[in-house]
Amino acid sequence: MRVVVLCLLLLVGAPSAGAFDLFGLFGSKKKASQPERTPVSDEKAKQYLQNFGYVQSSNSLSASPGGMSADFSDVTQILKSAVRKFQEFAGLKQTGELDLQTKKKMAEPRCGVTDVAAITSGRGAAFKWPKSQITYSIFIYSPDLPRNDIKTAIRRAYNVWAAVAPLDFVELRDNDESADIKIKFAAGSHGDPWPFDGRGGVLAHATMPTSGMLHFDEDENWVYMDPEKIAKHDYTDVYAVAIHEGGHTLGLSHSRDENSIMAPFYQETVDEDGNYKEPKLKADDIRAIQDIYGPRRGGPPTSDFDDSPRARPATTERPRATTTDSFWGGFGFGGRDRDRDRATTTSGRGGFFSGFFGEGSSRRGSSDESSTRPSAGGRFADIDVNCPSSLDAYTVAGNGRGYLFRGSKVYEVDGRRIGSPKAVQDVFPNGPIYAQAAVTNPRSQLTLLFQDRRVYGFAWNPRLNRFQLDAEYPKTLPSEIVFNPVGGLVWIDGQQMLLSYGKNFAVYDEYWNQQTLANRLDNYYPGFPSDIKGGVADRQGVVTLFAIDKVYKYDANSKRLQGASVPLNSYLTC
């Protein structure tokens, strides 16, 4: 059973200013505020970028043998790129520097899972309940609240989703192991891999279907729709958190839409007049849940509890002042997450990674890096039906099978055994006619096909047994990548490398649609063969490289070729 942690609502520092309208509770006039936060240190900022997916932990911000961070200048470049990504995501000025505003943002309350990795975990609607009636059971209650308040909060929270999707929720008796979703309040280490960290840290976490886990941190002070305690004593509204976490248990990742209830930050459910303001789904939330399950037909689900929020007594003071500071926009959830992350979604969510950002420049490569150089035998030369002697691109996709591209045809490869050719657009619908490069992100399982400056992203849908074009694609490569890719591979440290004919490379992050590093292969890997079109790395750091008509073995750790090349049609079993 797959278990994917969805949300650990993490408070990184002390209480802070914030006008980010997570639940759409605050108007455009006065907004509740909190004291100014202390900015994080430079070292904590670097750790933050690694922890939340802005740089890959495998090569991180320090050099590693065989990795991309081979010298200090490259580490600096990677850091600048990571900071720019965070600043773009946070709605800050993109300076690439760890300035004061950036470090203050890093101290804001936020979800504790990796931003990019989180986004990618929901891709392809892989996380979905295969039925319309879902059961839940409460195993451990919080002593902060009457049991009936907790039951009502959970019931109301799931009814919010049931009102717009064809789902019905049934509460089973307490401690019923047969329940689809098991709910409890717990502190510290509590039997899963993600221990809570005490009051003021992690609020709750949940897992995607069909794992069915929803845990609240017992060390928090919980209330149910009580504006006085929320405003005066910094209590946390269990109802608001339950709606958000409940969305995760139904397969929703975080939303980039700052007004969405599935945006990653918690905000107090009290308006400027001190009254309770009930969280409500926004259009993005509704689109996301309906992308998975479809719309609800007929009447709303039956409600067997009082639906009216409690008003705050008029005599209670409002302790918050107005501020102009704002929370930064959400991230998708987990790997890009984006994710979001379904291959067919139209919302602003991230799949485990769909790109949130629009297409870049359509600028073509420089003349010496032109993609007009023909492949062996010409672009649409006669295809070797039985056993291809040359290729244009090669990648291993998220379904574990290899795909060899030759002209307008693609061959499926199982191990070394090659199947019959099919039209590229039959296997990758709505994709390019041919592919000049292909690469599969091992974390998101998103397969990228490149034709000139266009990028097509495909997710494998195991339920439909086919590839689907992700909603964020096609897009155009950014102008900072100055060549049209004619090869691509994932290196041993997880970096996606796009290759040119002239032995130049660019490390490409499809989620951000950015180049994070550019250089010459010879500066990193002496003796690296020419005309490489694709490659597959093993756990020992040996990369099988596919050239136009040859296959090589390259040891990325010792930076040497292993033996002589072999012809492609000898390597394959036809």
217 is in an annotated binding site: yes
Give the pLDDT band (50/70/90) at residue 44.
confident
pLDDT of residue 556: 85
65 pLDDT exceeds 80? no
My answer on whether 415 and 532 are in the same domain is yes
pLDDT, mean of residues 31-49: 73
Q: What's the CATH number where 430 sits? A: 2.110.10.10
- Residue in the structure block whose two tokens are 């990618």: 120
My answer on whether 42 and 164 are in the same domain is no
**Could you tell me how many residues make up the chain?**
574
pLDDT of residue 364: 31
384 is in an annotated binding site: no
180 is in an annotated binding site: yes
493 is in an annotated binding site: no
Of the candidate ranges 37-46, 107-116, 225-234, 308-317, the one whose mean pLDDT is the lowest: 308-317
Most confident of 83-97, 165-179, 454-468, 543-557: 165-179
pLDDT of residue 304: 42
pLDDT tens string 542-574: 999 999 999 999 998 888 899 999 999 889 887
Give the pLDDT band (50/70/90) at residue 513.
confident
In the chain, what percentage of residues exceed pLDDT 70?
70
AA letter at 444:
S
Residue where a domain stops, chosen among 293, 311, 330: 293
pLDDT, mean of residues 350-367: 29
Residue where a domain stops, chosen among 270, 293, 316: 293
My answer on whether 478 and 553 are in the same domain is yes
Q: pTM (2 decimals)? A: 0.53
Per-residue tokens: 262? 């599935």
Buried-exposed string 129-141: b where 16+ CB fall within 10 A, e elsewhere:
beeeebbbbbeeb
325 is in an annotated binding site: no
Distance CA 101, CA 97 (A): 10
- 226 domain-assigned: yes
Helix then strand then coil, % of the chain, to nearest 5: 20, 20, 60
My answer on whether 97 and 139 are in the same domain is no
233 is in an annotated binding site: no
pLDDT of residue 22: 31
37 pLDDT exceeds 80? no
pLDDT of residue 19: 29
- 19 domain-assigned: no
Distance CA 137, CA 183 (A): 6
Q: What's the CATH number where 145 sits? A: 3.40.390.10
My answer on whether 412 and 544 are in the same domain is yes
My answer on whether 414 and 526 are in the same domain is yes
Of the candidate ranges 79-88, 364-373, 435-444, the one whose mean pLDDT is the lowest: 364-373
My answer on whether 139 and 103 are in the same domain is no
pLDDT of residue 485: 94
My answer on whether 185 and 92 are in the same domain is no
- Name the average pLDDT for the chain: 75
- Burial environment of residue 194 by CB neighbours within 10 A (0 to 12, 13 to 18, 19 or more): middle
pLDDT of residue 195: 79
Distance CA 175, CA 158 (A): 19
pLDDT of residue 116: 55
- 559 domain-assigned: yes
The number of C-alpha atoms within 13 Å of 378 and in the hemisphere containing its C-beta is: 4
- 195 domain-assigned: yes
pLDDT tens string 222-275: 999 999 998 888 898 999 999 999 998 998 877 767 678 887 767 778 998 899
pLDDT, mean of residues 82-95: 79
- 81 domain-assigned: yes
pLDDT, mean of residues 209-231: 92
Q: Which residues contact 277 (CB under 8 A, 6 or more apart)?
A: 23, 25, 26, 269, 270, 271, 309
pLDDT of residue 67: 52
Q: Tell me which residue of 439, 403, 430 sits closest to 418, measured CA to CA.
A: 403
436 pLDDT exceeds 80? yes
- 42 lies in which domain range? 38-55+71-107
- 246 domain-assigned: yes
My answer on whether 214 and 167 are in the same domain is yes
Distance CA 388, CA 464 (A): 29
Q: Tell me which residue of 451, 440, 428 sits closest to 379, measured CA to CA.
A: 451
How is 281-313 classified by DSSP, letter by letter? --HHHHHHHHHHH----SSPPP--S--PPPPPP
AA letter at 218:
E
Q: How many CB atoms lie within 10 A of CB 374?
A: 10
pLDDT, mean of residues 133-150: 98
pLDDT of residue 4: 44
pLDDT, mean of residues 291-312: 62
- 387 domain-assigned: no
pLDDT of residue 553: 94
AA letter at 124:
G
Q: Tell me which residue of 323, 313, 356 sits closest to 472, measured CA to CA.
A: 356
Residue where a domain stops, chosen among 278, 293, 308: 293
CB 20 within 8 A of CB 258: yes
pLDDT of residue 242: 95
Q: What's the CATH number where 75 sits? A: 1.10.101
My answer on whether 211 and 85 are in the same domain is no
Distance CA 519, CA 506 (A): 7
Task: Tell me the backbone φ, ψ of residue 61, rounded to 5 degrees.
Answer: -110, 25
My answer on whether 95 and 220 are in the same domain is no
Helix 72-90 × helix 42-51 angle, to 10°? 80
Tally of domains in the chain: 3
Pairing of strands 454-461, 109-111: unpaired
482 pLDDT exceeds 60? yes
pLDDT of residue 76: 77
pLDDT of residue 112: 53
My answer on whether 150 and 227 are in the same domain is yes
Residues with active-site annotation: 245
287 pLDDT exceeds 70? yes
- 163 domain-assigned: yes
Of the candidate ranges 45-54, 136-145, 193-202, 367-376, the one whose mean pLDDT is the lowest: 367-376
pLDDT of residue 256: 66
Buried-exposed string 520-548: b where 16+ CB fall within 10 A, e elsewhere:
ebeebbeebbebbbbbbbeeebbbbbbbb
In the chain, what percentage of residues exceed pLDDT 90?
38
574 is in an annotated binding site: no
pLDDT of residue 255: 74
